[in-house]
Chain A
Amino acid sequence: MQSLNKITDYIWELPKTGKMKVPGRIYASKQLIDEIIQDPCLEQVRNVAYLPGIVKYSLAMPDIHWGYGFPIGGVAAMDFDEGVISPGGVGYDINCGVRMILTDLKYDQIKDKIRPLLAQLFRDIPTGVGSKGAIPDLSKNQLHQILTNGSEYAVKMGYGNWQDVEHIEEKGCLAGADPSYVSEYAKQRGKKQMGTLGSGNHFLEIGYAEEIFLPKEADVFHLEENQVALTIHTGSRGLGYQICDDYLKTTQRAAEKYNIPLPDRQLACAPIQSPEGKTYLGAMRCAANFAFCNRQVIKHLAEEAFMKALSISPKELNMRTVYDICHNIAKIEKHTVDGKETTVCVHRKGATRAFGPHHPDLPLTYKSIGQPVFVPGDMGRYSYLCIGTENAMKETFGSSCHGAGRMMSRKKSSKVSRSMDMFAELKSRGVEIIARGKRTIAEEMPHAYKDVANVVNSMEGAGIVKNVAKFKPVGVIKG
């Protein structure tokens, strides 16, 4: 791997060489970049820069790590008329994302009840491989409605409320979703999984605000120290995986048809304006809507579980969605490129949207401060609530990091975990956990991840986000 040029303390450039159409840019502190260069992910930043129509840079956020095709933590904007769309640039778990939820509870009110609270959540929210959906077997019409309308349909079915929908990226529904572009296999995989958390790195976490950095901005969230929060991390489940798999085949054929050389088959793509590109977009949006709906259903189940376990009323709990963001998505957006408004297709794979203040797509609540970006860390340390900035709009197509970023393979993490009592280790950090199996915990222990503080501080140092508050996890359920 060739050397990187330092642009600022937090930006590193991978110079344009060979068939790269644009340079690469990596957002990271010196400490993080020294770790990043040890990983094969920079080769993937370079490969993405080969793709037709890529605008300005092949970008990487500080939580970047080795993916397949695109790096995880990669952002690439393609010209809407000349560029391509790549299912690999979105990933298998389409619209895997995070919903951040606040309550009116203070940590003192729940600190002696974490275990029963987790047990209730674990009972009520289908978790892990092979679990049946909260809505066990969706009818054809129900699935069609979900794929077309996303979260809105969940509310119509009685899950959550309109306040939630208002505080979801794209109001919980990507327009232009077309279920006729979704295969029967994908529908079969999805119909039994509505309202399931899944396994792997998916989780539901209870935490509280440990430190507030920006009190004025925190006021906008009605957020105070010690306030209890909830995070849901899951996506479009088997439906999204199958859509990605189906369209990797379609776009491999399309790449051949349109003479697009691929440095990696996983980077298969089709021109955005081609029939193949349009059908993928239509199907991908269906998966995105499924995921929005899934997180909506789970939020409702969590609310019921809290009320049951703590014997409190909805008013006392006041559980509300702060914001729900996508981690794996391709979106058609308008950005200013070289002083000109340009329509681009922004691929965010393991990255989030982080729009600055006054953007028309933000809900009224956040117009003055910018889009909330909740960045979960590993389950033992802390998570951050950040907000997007004007600078993000200028530099990263309004994008930021999505998490801590893995630095250890699952296998290596499991090996390290074997030498410790994992439950005792988490307990020493003040975290209770309930999981379907020990293997997932072993793979997901804090040592497998970068310190998320270094990640968000890199983004703040680069002026892409501002850190509003830090949250301490106290309870986790996993698959």
Chain B
Amino acid sequence: MNHTSDIGVEVTGENFSKLMENGAFALFDLITDLSTVDPTYQETINIPEENAEDQFRTWLEKLLLLHNIDSYLLTKFEVNINPDGKIVGNVWGEQYKAEKHTLFSEIKAITYHQFQVIQTEQGWSASFILDV
């Protein structure tokens, strides 16, 4: 997606779990070359019950905080939706090492401008603009 100042992302998934996994991958793919990241560290992320848009947003925000505060680069994502609707994400990656990783972009935040999560005939689709 083209935006004059920033980076726009469009992502799809055959179901909501896949959408979240793909959204997370897109986010970190913009940050670094994911082929250089080893999935040695694992973290579990719990997403509170909200509407789909807020869940998707909270998920990305929590992952971005792991990167911005603790310097984690994440490369593998697994999202499960429990029968009670609670979402649990497992993520894998490692901490940034200057000698090993190249960082492409500093993502300031996920903006609300044109932020959208919708269910489609094929599954789910989301679009968002990152402030870089």
Using a CB–CB cutoff of 8 Å, the interface residues on chain A facing chain B are 39, 41, 65-69, 72, 88, 92-93, 128-130, 185, 188-189, 198-200, 238, 241-242, 244-245, 248, 252, 264-266, 268, 406-412, 437, 439, 479
Contact A265 B115 (CB under 8 A): yes
Contact A130 B112 (CB under 8 A): no
Assess whether B71 is interfacial by the CB under 8 Å rule: yes
- How far, in whole Å, are A68 and B3 apart by their CA atoms in the complex? 10
Assess whether B109 is interfacial by the CB under 8 Å rule: yes
Which A residues lie within 8 Å of B71 (CB)? 130
Contact B132 A130 (CB under 8 A): no
Which A residues lie within 8 Å of B108 (CB)? 92-93, 238, 241
- A-B contacts, 21 of them at CB < 8 A, read A66-B3, A68-B131, A69-B113, A92-B109, A92-B131, A128-B103, A130-B96, A200-B105, A238-B68, A241-B108, A245-B109, A265-B112, A265-B115, A407-B4, A409-B2, A409-B3, A410-B132, A411-B2, A412-B2, A437-B102, A437-B103
Known: A92-B109, A244-B109, A406-B5. 11 other contacts (CB 8 A): A66-B4, A68-B112, A130-B96, A130-B103, A241-B108, A241-B131, A242-B109, A409-B3, A410-B7, A412-B2, A439-B105
Q: Give how many B residues have a beta carbon under 8 Å from the other chain's beta carbons.
A: 28
Which A residues lie within 8 Å of B114 (CB)? 68
Q: Which residue on chain B has the smallest CB distance to residue A185? A: B65
Contact A439 B5 (CB under 8 A): no
Using a CB–CB cutoff of 8 Å, the interface residues on chain B facing chain A are 2-7, 61, 65, 68-69, 71, 96, 98, 102-106, 108-109, 111-115, 129, 131-132
Which B residues lie within 8 Å of A185 (CB)? 65, 69
- How far, in whole Å, are A188 and B64 apart by their CA atoms in the complex? 13
Which B residues lie within 8 Å of A68 (CB)? 5-6, 111-114, 129, 131
- How far, in whole Å, are A327 and B132 apart by their CA atoms in the complex? 16
- How far, in whole Å, are A88 and B108 apart by their CA atoms in the complex? 13
- How far, in whole Å, are A72 and B113 apart by their CA atoms in the complex? 13
Contact B113 A129 (CB under 8 A): no
Contact B129 A199 (CB under 8 A): no
- How far, in whole Å, are A68 and B127 apart by their CA atoms in the complex? 14
- How far, in whole Å, are A93 and B108 apart by their CA atoms in the complex? 8
Contact A241 B109 (CB under 8 A): yes
Which B residues lie within 8 Å of A244 (CB)? 109
Chain A CB within 10 A, most for which of B71, B105, B108, B129: B108
User: Within the complex, what minimum Cβ distance (angstroms) separates B99 from chain A?
Assistant: 12
8 smallest A-B Cβ distances: which pairs? Answer: A68-B113, A129-B103, A265-B112, A241-B108, A66-B4, A266-B113, A129-B106, A68-B111
- How far, in whole Å, are A200 and B131 apart by their CA atoms in the complex? 10
Q: Quick one: given A92-B131, A409-B2, are A479 and B115 in contact (CB under 8 Å)?
A: no
Contact A479 B132 (CB under 8 A): no
Q: Quick one: given A130-B96, A188-B69, are A39 and B4 in contact (CB under 8 Å)?
A: yes
Q: Which residue on chain A has the smallest CB distance to residue B132? A: A200
- How far, in whole Å, are A439 and B115 apart by their CA atoms in the complex? 26
Which A residues lie within 8 Å of B112 (CB)? 68-69, 88, 248, 252, 264-266, 268
User: Within the complex, what minimum Cβ distance (angstroms) separates A271 from chain B?
Assistant: 20
Which B residues lie within 8 Å of A411 (CB)? 2, 7
Which A residues lie within 8 Å of B68 (CB)? 189, 238, 242
Q: Which residue on chain A has the smallest CB distance to residue B96? A: A130
Q: Which residue on chain B has the smallest CB distance to residue A189? A: B68
Contact A130 B98 (CB under 8 A): yes
